[in-house]
């Protein structure tokens, strides 16, 4: 007889796989985020995981190209999406005449990046995106609305955040005003590394670009300004007369005025000039959310204003503003730091346990409760004692025990498994009792 070859079960690194009880919490949190998006009149969109390579790679370049999962099926060159923004751009360009503007969509879905798997970085992860797209123009109210949504999302998740905001035009204009317009991207790339390599190393790299020591000091000073909105605004608003700089100041003041009108908690807003994200993408407002009690987590949500969403697919102008939550990474951080609520072992509210030959009656009773709560029958061929022990192990909060006497009288024993209290109720009384607990 040939020996059976047993394949060792294992999964690829960088792919999250949770036990069902934690997946239950994961899904509940996703549902809360979805409900906030729906509350703000965003509609769902679900684009394909696979896109034509010429579409998905139209705007990527650089490191992203190396991380994309790419393959050929016959003569078709295909990529797995690495974010949800490029598919959105393709969708808007394809359906621009059918959409109502501003077009508000959210998408919660998996994306794929073939980067080196390490703690906090996944090859497959869920992003929770929400974007507002305009046709030719888009009010700055949209920027404020996205910031408001971020605030509400994390409030419903019971996570305290600080929304750090800035405007790309402020730094662009400041660098331009110092006379370095042609070096803007190089300068900002170096300044963006200040938290990683330190102030001295940043100054050294800027010197290599022939930036004067006086201007290096000015650049480092502005990039490290952060604090309460009005205080920082007062400090910087007259630092430059450059037109782009003043445009950024005007825009962020306008956005802040809308946030106050939306009654956002001003203590949760911080003006941070150090936010440098997506230089070739974001064109105005930028923001990043952090957990102040866990700054080592880094950014838990980010986004901003962009003017050229679909520039690779159409000549039409579709400005937009959006936010993105890397939810898989966030969940992993919360889980590994014991910040999740205790994960229930299941979602069962009530289990019905037959005693003797009462299985059919148990199934009939289950149909009565099933439309009101998660209820199951312990129908396996095991002893009553084993079933009770298993219900306790599963942490099922309530059980109903049905024997021949219960079938005849229609009065059932409802047991609270946590404190061992028992009640004798009709099925209607059981339902009323359990409904109040829910």
Per-residue model confidence as pLDDT tens digits over 103-137? 999 999 999 998 887 777 899 999 999 999 999 99
Give the number of other CB atoms < 10 A from CB of residue 5. 5
Is residue 259 a contact partner of residue 144, using CB atoms and an 8 Å limit? yes
Buried b (16+ CB within 10 A) or exposed e, 58-71: bbbeeebeebbbee
CATH number at residue 303: 3.30.930.10
Residues 145 and 19 in one domain: yes
d(CA 133, CA 307): 10
Residue 394: inside a domain, yes or no?
Answer: yes
Residue 283: inside a domain, yes or no?
Answer: no
Q: How confident is the model at residue 352 (pLDDT cuts 50, 70, 90)?
A: very high
Residue 405: inside a domain, yes or no?
Answer: yes
Residues 361 and 259 in one domain: no
**Averaged pLDDT, 246-255:** 97
Residues 146 and 38 in one domain: yes
Buried b (16+ CB within 10 A) or exposed e, 348-357: bbbbbbbbee
Backbone angles phi, psi at 263, to 5 degrees: 65, 35
Q: How confident is the model at residue 364 (pLDDT cuts 50, 70, 90)?
A: very high
d(CA 343, CA 277): 35
CATH number at residue 385: 3.40.50.800
Over residues 28-64, the pLDDT tens digits come to 999 999 999 999 999 999 999 999 999 998 876 555 6
Domain hosting residue 242, numbered range: 171-265
Residues 149 and 297 in one domain: yes
Residues 36 and 114 in one domain: yes
Over residues 140-197, the pLDDT tens digits come to 999 999 999 999 999 999 999 999 999 999 999 999 999 988 998 898 888 988 888 8
Backbone angles phi, psi at 358, to 5 degrees: -125, 20
Residue 7: inside a domain, yes or no?
Answer: no
Q: What is residue 432's predicted lDDT score, i.e. its pLDDT?
A: 93
Residues 357 and 339 in one domain: no
Residue 243: inside a domain, yes or no?
Answer: yes
pLDDT > 70? residue 377:
yes
Residues 255 and 328 in one domain: no
Residue 278: inside a domain, yes or no?
Answer: no
* Helix-strand-coil split of the chain, %, nearest 5: 40, 20, 35
Residues 156 and 42 in one domain: yes
Q: How confident is the model at residue 337 (pLDDT cuts 50, 70, 90)?
A: very high
Residue 272: inside a domain, yes or no?
Answer: no
Is residue 193 a contact partner of residue 202, using CB atoms and an 8 Å limit? yes
Residue 115: inside a domain, yes or no?
Answer: yes
């Amino acid at each position: 007889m040939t020996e059976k070859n047993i394949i060792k079960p294992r999964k690829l690194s960088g792919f999250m796989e949770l036990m069902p009880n934690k997946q239950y919490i994961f899904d509940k949190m996703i549902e809360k985020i979805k409900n906030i998006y729906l509350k703000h009149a965003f509609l769902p969109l679900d684009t394909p995981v696979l896109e034509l390579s010429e579409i998905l790679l139209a705007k990527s370049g650089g490191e992203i190209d190396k991380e994309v999962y790419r393959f050929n099926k016959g003569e078709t060159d295909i990529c797995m999406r690495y974010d949800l923004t490029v598919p959105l751009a393709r969708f808007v360009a394809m359906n621009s005449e059918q959409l109502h503007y501003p077009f508000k969509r959210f998408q919660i879905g998996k994306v794929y990046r073939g980067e080196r798997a390490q703690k906090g970085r996944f090859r497959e992860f869920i992003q929770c995106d929400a974007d507002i797209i305009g046709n030719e123009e888009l009010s700055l109210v949209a920027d404020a609305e996205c910031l408001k949504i971020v605030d509400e999302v994390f409030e419903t998740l019971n996570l305290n955040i600080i929304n750090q905001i800035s405007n790309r035009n402020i730094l662009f204009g400041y660098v331009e005003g110092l006379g370095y317009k042609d070096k803007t991207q190089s300068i900002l790339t170096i300044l963006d590394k200040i938290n990683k390599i330190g102030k001295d190393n940043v100054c050294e790299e800027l010197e290599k670009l022939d930036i004067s020591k006086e201007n290096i000091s000015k650049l480092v000073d502005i990039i490290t300004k952060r604090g309460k909105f009005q205080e920082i605004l007062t400090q910087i608003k007259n630092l430059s007369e450059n037109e782009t700089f003043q445009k950024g100041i005007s825009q962020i003041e306008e956005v802040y005025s809308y946030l106050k009108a939306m009654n956002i908690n001003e203590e949760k807003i911080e003006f941070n000039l150090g936010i440098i994200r997506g230089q070739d993408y974001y064109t105005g407002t930028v923001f990043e959310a952090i957990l102040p009690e866990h700054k080592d987590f880094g950014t838990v949500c980010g986004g901003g204003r962009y003017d050229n969403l679909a520039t690779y697919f159409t000549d039409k102008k579709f400005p937009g503003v959006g936010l993105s939550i890397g939810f898989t990474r966030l969940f992993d951080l919360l889980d590994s730091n014991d910040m999740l609520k205790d994960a229930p072992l299941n979602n069962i509210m009530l289990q019905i346990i037959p005693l003797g030959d009462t299985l059919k009656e148990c199934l009939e009773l289950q149909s009565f409760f099933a439309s009101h709560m998660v209820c199951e029958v312990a129908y396996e061929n095991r002893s009553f004692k084993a079933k009770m022990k298993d219900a306790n192990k599963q942490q099922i909060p309530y059980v109903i025990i049905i024997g021949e006497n219960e079938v005849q009288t229609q009065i059932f024993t409802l047991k609270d498994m946590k404190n061992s209290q028992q009640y004798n109720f009709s099925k209607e009384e059981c339902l009323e009792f359990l409904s109040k607990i829910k």
